[in-house]
Structure 1
């Protein structure tokens, strides 16, 4: 089964190897990265990975400033997407935590009955007092989140989606596909239940990319590490949004996502294999050196920001 992950990045260098290694563990076979305006070595590391066949790296084609949507439009023309059995549109701070079978995407697809799309609910993982950036797997460091059924008083929580090659696609959205005309493909949540009709046809403006989270995560959860360490959040705040211009990561964004009410270590089932996969990638001296350059530039940016009044 060929599964392609598509993502947009800007200054995510220290986190690239973990995301790629993790995705490969769960069954992703191909990665398509679009990058823009990188200053931390992200683009150089991706070029080196691409030269080794570990990903495809392209400059973001955006002519305006809606980076993600223009990249997703361009992605539809790439062989790595058109020849895939499934496409997974996600960000580098999002990890698909699969609870069934051998904990891979094929096992999730099988559990859901092989639908044409699967939308998996976010679980936002808190900073939980982690101040310093350290170069170790993110999924190993953060294990507290909001109540998975409730976030900021909302019972409906955002999703990201796996899309099968024969989905009647009009276009890829960042959170879900949009279908042509009145098509009603078989489409499930992360428990294998059919998604609500109003979500399927995008009829409810408040719920275009979300639906009630209760009962929707039996087979999979999307662990979203939007904050990471305080150091990394500071750097992210300075960078701004990868996907669209003029969106700030401010203290409100932080407060909403830094809710440590719930402990969930289930994703750590992947950590032993992830460590081995990362060590294997770093056996390549150039890849290891470029990763370490990204780490150093990330920390240097933190130091520059902390020196400001």
Structure 2
């Protein structure tokens, strides 16, 4: 059986973990390697239980961390692990990212059948906004947030970022956040990269690109549903946790505005809802997991109450209430911005020459 491994790093995400795992088991991932760090909500204990059940491999990533930070420390450790070396396909994900396949039965097998020549497939983000939901609810993320960015975006570039599902054939020797790293020069010419529309990609994608070409659709065969905000209450907790790469940097309204797109309804992932729910029911049937999930939900609510007594988080929540959904930048305005981005790149290249 082909082994497809998802690698995840988490902190204080137990309330969302079972849905994430159920969805990705349903769509065909066979193995899961999960690193946790500095958890107060029981995420680490939930992962211990899932490890005992043979459903994930859990590694505590409690430091010390190298210069790349928490996530890259985890990936460096993963590079040496047998579960990674034995996998046929690899994908690094976050707990707010859900693979959404649009062909066949919406599983990895159907995607691979649609792109039989691919050794790497770019899964472009589709950003799902808050939809005006202020309060956190203990309900599936994929069924709660259904309003997203337009299928064709012109700005910002991060709206077209991707994660890479790639064949573990030795072409790349290190995991990365958005793309595999450390290519083998001898194997690189044989790499065949395709995007979510099924288009063959040029050589830049083999080595450097981390976002798809915007201004065109990228989701025909597969997309990556990205729920970076959640409800406003959840975002306050996320802000307190800090950024994934630089955990000491508090998130603000800037991060929110660049991701709170709600122009289009996208319910395509709900085709996986029956299979996901079946998997989720199996997980919640375990009394230990059920208790840990309930405790994590209570922790989130208590944590929000604590944060709201502090001015920075109370002010942030107020700003979120006052901030309207983000307007997608039209083509003419995007061209204005891109012109200056290109000028800055050109001047930077000349300055370093």
Q: Under a length normalisation based on structure 2, what TM-score does the superposition of the two structures give?
A: 0.82
Matches within 5 A, 1:13-162: 13-60=14-61, 63-64=65-66, 66-150=69-153, 152-154=155-157, 157-162=160-165
Contact 2:157–2:211 under 8 Å retained in 1: no
Structure 1 residue runs of 4+, over 6 Å off?
A: none
Matching residue of 1:235: 237
Instruction: Check 1:78–1:58 CA distance in 2 against 1; reply closer, same or farther (3 A cut).
Output: same
- Tell me, what secondary structure is at the counterpart of 1:211? coil
Segments of structure 1 that go 5 or more residues without pairing to the other structure are: 203-207
- Tell me, what secondary structure is at the counterpart of 2:160? strand
Matching residue of 1:205: none
Contact 1:116–1:167 under 8 Å retained in 2: no
Superposition RMSD in Å: 1.7
Contact 2:146–2:266 under 8 Å retained in 1: yes
Provide, for residues 105-139 of structure 1, a one-character-per-residue CA deviation record: whole Å limited to 9, x for no partner. 12111111241111111011000101111111100
Count residues in correspondence: 304
Matching residue of 1:224: 226
Contact 1:101–1:107 under 8 Å retained in 2: yes
Q: Under a length normalisation based on structure 1, what TM-score does the superposition of the two structures give?
A: 0.93
Provide, for residues 71-97 of structure 1, a one-character-per-residue CA deviation record: whole Å limited to 9, x for no partner. 112112212111111111111100010
Provide, for residues 175-196 of structure 1, a one-character-per-residue CA deviation record: whole Å limited to 9, x for no partner. 0113223623111111222223
Contact 1:31–1:55 under 8 Å retained in 2: yes
Matching residue of 2:275: 273
Distance 2:233 2:78 in 1: 32
CA-CA distance at 1:99 after TM superposition: 0.1
Q: Please say which structure displays the higher CA radius of gyration.
A: 2
Q: Which has the higher contact order (CA 8 A, sep 6+)?
A: 1
Segments of structure 2 that go 5 or more residues without pairing to the other structure are: 312-353
Contact 2:241–2:247 under 8 Å retained in 1: no
Instruction: Check 1:156–1:18 CA distance in 2 against 1; reply closer, same or farther (3 A cut).
Output: closer
Matching residue of 2:320: none
Matching residue of 1:192: 198
1 or 2, which has the higher strand percentage? 1
Contact 1:118–1:187 under 8 Å retained in 2: yes
